């Protein structure tokens, strides 16, 4: 087997133009146009309107190359396009090979007879996705909350705009292009399953072989352990399908972040004919079991992820495509997101269904950092032509390929059918109130697809991982959607419904897969919007960065829950981050307190796709907002929580680890100057995987007289130092009677770091 990559330098142009310009593959037309100075960066200032023409045009990409002599000796040679975004015709040396209609699939064409030793020309002609979806919408309109017509095209739905991102649909080659040559035989598929029994683990390797010569073959398997030890096996490959069992001596289990280590094994499978290596596959594995426990209980039906037999409380966030300009994203940016999630105690990221399937590099990073992945299939917020055989055939090929591609990653925890299709059914019913029969036909098609066909296709390729029909869902089509008894929930009564942030405490779903509050980015990022003289919600500089209708008004609404509106916009931006961080903290701590009932929380959203005002905790430049810093405490595997219930204050230790924790906690009710009104000390033993009520304190008499002048403080002592100090206030900040803190600040350089020390004589 030989391989000749065709990435790197290409040429591109608008279809029909004479001039060719240099391009980089993988990439996108926006990036290439920016690189040659034909368009400004659409993320900056008001440039978005200046690049709207790009997606309306057709584009051509050209690569000329000489054939690698080693490849020329192979019996079969195929052109492999791993990712074309999206509508493309492919030509080699003037001959049309075929077309692509799905950005989530790879395409292969036999090309041996078309290749020359030198002077080969590979041309890929892309059609405008905007023109296509408009045509399809005229042909057959479908209910949608965003982007009419987009349901007909297998392209990330958010490429056409969302309530956090621009309409900036990328076009181009977003994954690698290569020539692959084979002789005699090759792997058609390689599936590695695991059997865990009584502390022992065996790998079950299932190989399918495609052969076109009747020669003796052998299968060699090499296993590299996490400590560098190597084992090797070899068996004859006489049949088209081979199964072999590989025992693992002294197996080391893979654990999510916060529960243990992430040891990884590397398995190499090689197909040989005598002394000639014909093909090879390499898979990185983590040894672990995974299940989604849904059992009847006092509150309905549980929704708990269980890893290696241990119930795991899920702490994490939702991920959107990291760059609206290009489906291809550099490894450094992906690692920054995954590393940032792990650094604050997250153990799961949800790859949201309005994007797509992540790149292999993303899942490899999640494997390494112990981040579980909830993987939506890319269906979101619209109804699809799931009653059209051609569309179903395209999706079936997409599903099979991506499930095979990702199924060996230990981080991959769940396949989920869609985002919010069931939740939005009342909207579909209203939109199509004059077409009830057609809507009924679509309802039947969607129920069949997400509850019968899709899970069947997933089980055929990956029978060892749970499937869930949609998010949110109860597990029964259009029944009890987004309720608290069973399934998962998206809680948007806060923000979209304008409920106060304390209303999170009114809900205890079995699993919270979306909730959140918006904030502005920091000053440094705001400068990308435009000069500071333009920073005002009344100016287009700020308004055009808000994609959610009424979003800026909601920002101010929630800000005024706690703070007066400041005159300085930079101060306002900072306060929106504080409000966001505190709202999410209180919600997460509420659900963690009820860990026996709620299985986890994923806030909306981890990242941005451009430079924006949004729900993110990491902005479009990768800068952490206050929410992300706050997550270090409320997502810590061992955390401290303070809950107020009328005249009572409860002190709790939240222990998501496998070890019991023991130590001292000191608590006090005190004035802002530090004068204690009540105080106590508790010896705490926090069992593993439990919430422990440490003490409940009656403070009603003090609240009635001094509620705006006091705080409840908990300070960890010996054995519990990692918990950190916690302070709980009893009134919004705008209503507090704060004394002058007489703040003092000191800066001290320590090598490459700067230490900042703050001192105050009162609460500040």
Q: Where are the domains of the chain?
A: 2-181, 184-285, 313-517+578-634, 639-732
Taking only the tens place, the pLDDT of each residue in 105-134 is 999 999 999 999 999 999 999 999 999 999
C-alpha distance across the termini of the chain, in Å: 67
- Angle at which helix 454-461 crosses helix 389-406, to 10 degrees, equals 30
CATH number of 639-732: 2.60.40.10
576 — pLDDT class (breaks 50, 70, 90) = very high
Question: What pLDDT, on the 0 to 100 scale, is given for residue 360?
Answer: 96
CA distance 682 to 717: 10
Taking only the tens place, the pLDDT of each residue in 215-264 is 999 999 999 999 999 999 999 999 999 999 999 989 999 999 999 999 99
- Please give the CATH superfamily to which domain 2-181 belongs: Galactose-binding domain-like (2.60.120.260)
Q: What share of the chain is helix, strand, coil (3-state, %, to 5)?
A: 25, 35, 40
Taking only the tens place, the pLDDT of each residue in 357-387 is 999 999 999 999 999 999 999 999 999 999 9
**Residue 689, CA distances (Å) to 205, 258, 342, 354, 661 in order:** 35, 12, 19, 33, 11
Residue 399: CB atoms within 10 A of its CB come to: 21
Taking only the tens place, the pLDDT of each residue in 311-355 is 999 999 999 999 999 999 999 999 999 999 999 999 999 999 999
**Residue 370, CA distances (Å) to 138, 255, 341, 663 in order:** 46, 6, 10, 28
Mean pLDDT across 291-306: 98
Flag whether pLDDT at 659 surpasses 90. Answer: yes
Active site residues: 420
- Please give the CATH superfamily to which domain 313-517+578-634 belongs: Glycosidases (3.20.20.80)
CA distance 681 to 557: 40
* Nearest one of 122, 123, 124, 55 to 88, comparing CA atoms: 124
Residues counted in the chain:
764
* Nearest one of 444, 418, 439, 441 to 427, comparing CA atoms: 439
CA distance 83 to 463: 26
**What value, to the nearest 5°, has the Cα angle with vertex 727 and ends 722 and 731?**
160
Question: What pLDDT, on the 0 to 100 scale, is given for residue 680?
Answer: 96
Helix (H/G/I), strand (E/B), else coil: 626: helix
Answer whether 333's CB lies under 8 Å from 345's CB.
Answer: no
The overall pTM is greater than 0.85 = yes
Same fold for the domain at 2-181 and the one at 184-285?
no
* Nearest one of 73, 186, 450, 488 to 314, comparing CA atoms: 488
Cα 218 off chain centre by = 40
Q: Which fold has domain 184-285?
A: Immunoglobulin-like (2.60.40)
């Amino acid at each position: 087997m030989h391989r000749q990559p065709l990435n790197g330098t290409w040429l591109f142009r608008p279809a029909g133009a004479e001039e060719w310009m240099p391009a980089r593959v993988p990439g996108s037309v926006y990036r290439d146009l920016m690189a040659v100075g034909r368009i400004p960066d659409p993320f900056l200032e008001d440039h978005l309107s200046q690049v709207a023409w790009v997606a309306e045009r057709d584009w051509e990409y050209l690569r000329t190359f000489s054939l690698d002599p080693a490849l020329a000796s192979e019996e079969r040679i195929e052109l492999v396009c791993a990712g074309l975004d999206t509508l493309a015709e492919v030509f080699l040396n003037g001959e049309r090979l075929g077309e692509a209609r799905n950005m989530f699939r790879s395409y292969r064409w036999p090309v041996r007879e078309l290749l020359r030793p030198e002077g080969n020309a590979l041309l890929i002609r892309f059609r405008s996705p905007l023109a296509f979806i408009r045509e399809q919408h005229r042909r057959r309109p479908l209910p949608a909350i965003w982007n009419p017509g987009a349901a007909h095209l297998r392209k990330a739905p958010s490429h056409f705009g969302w309530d956090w991102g621009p309409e900036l649909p990328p076009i181009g080659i977003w994954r690698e292009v290569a020539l692959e040559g084979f002789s005699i035989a090759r792997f058609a598929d390689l599936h590695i399953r695991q059997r865990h029994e009584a502390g022992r683990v065996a790998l079950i390797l299932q190989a399918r072989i495609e052969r076109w010569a009747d020669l003796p073959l052998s299968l060699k398997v090499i296993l590299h352990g996490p400590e560098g030890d190597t084992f090797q096996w070899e068996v004859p490959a006489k049949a088209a399908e081979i199964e072999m069992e590989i025992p693992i001596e002294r197996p080391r289990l893979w654990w999510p972040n916060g529960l243990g280590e992430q040891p990884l094994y590397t398995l190499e499978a090689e197909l040989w004919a005598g002394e000639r290596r014909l093909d090879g596959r390499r898979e990185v594995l983590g040894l672990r079991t995974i299940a989604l426990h849904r059992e009847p209980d006092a509150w309905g039906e549980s929704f708990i992820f269980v890893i290696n037999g241990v119930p795991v409380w899920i702490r994490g966030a939702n991920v959107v495509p990291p760059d609206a300009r290009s489906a291809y994203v550099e490894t450094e940016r992906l690692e920054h997101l995954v590393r940032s999630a792990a650094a604050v105690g997250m153990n799961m990221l949800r790859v949201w269904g309005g994007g797509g399937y992540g790149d292999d590099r993303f899942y490899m990073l999640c494997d390494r950092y112990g981040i579980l992945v909830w993987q939506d299939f890319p269906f979101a917020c619209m109804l699809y032509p799931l009653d059209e055989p051609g569309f179903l055939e395209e999706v079936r090929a997409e599903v099979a390929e991506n499930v095979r591609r990702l199924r060996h990653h230990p981080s991959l925890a769940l396949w989920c059918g869609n985002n919010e299709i069931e939740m939005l059914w009342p909207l579909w019913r209203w939109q199509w109130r004059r077409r009830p029969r057609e809507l009924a036909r679509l309802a039947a098609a969607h129920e069949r697809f997400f509850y019968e066909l899709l899970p069947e296709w997933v089980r055929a390729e990956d029978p060892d991982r749970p499937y869930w029909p949609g998010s949110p869902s109860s597990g029964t089509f259009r029944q009890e959607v987004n309720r608290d008894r069973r399934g998962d929930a998206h809680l948007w009564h806060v923000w979209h419904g304008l409920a106060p942030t304390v209303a999170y405490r009114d809900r205890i779903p079995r699993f919270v897969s979306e909730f959140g509050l918006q904030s502005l980015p920091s000053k440094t990022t705001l400068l990308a919007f435009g000069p500071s003289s333009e920073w005002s919600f009344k100016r287009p500089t700020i308004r055009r960065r808000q994609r959610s209708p009424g979003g800026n008004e909601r920002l101010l609404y929630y800000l005024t829950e706690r703070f007066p509106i400041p005159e300085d916009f930079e101060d306002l931006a900072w306060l929106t981050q504080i409000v966001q961080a505190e709202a999410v903290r209180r919600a997460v701590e509420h659900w963690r307190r009820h860990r026996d009932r709620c299985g986890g929380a994923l806030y909306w959203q981890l990242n941005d796709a451009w430079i924006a005002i949004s729900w993110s905790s990491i902005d479009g430049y990768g800068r952490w907002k206050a929410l992300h810093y706050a997550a270090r405490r409320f997502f810590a595997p061992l955390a401290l929580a303070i809950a107020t219930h009328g005249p009572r204050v409860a002190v709790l230790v939240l222990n998501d680890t496998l070890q019991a924790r023991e130590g001292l906690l000191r608590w006090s009710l005190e004035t802002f100057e530090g004068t204690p009104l009540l105080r106590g000390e508790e010896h705490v033993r926090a069992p593993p995987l439990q919430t422990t009520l440490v003490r409940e304190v009656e403070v009603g008499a003090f609240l009635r007289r001094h509620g705006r002048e006091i705080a409840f403080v908990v300070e960890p002592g010996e054995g519990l130092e990692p918990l950190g100090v916690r302070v709980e206030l009893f009134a919004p900040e705008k209503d507090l009677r704060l004394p002058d803190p007489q703040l003092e600040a000191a800066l001290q350089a320590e090598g490459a770091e700067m230490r900042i020390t703050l001192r105050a004589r009162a609460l500040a």
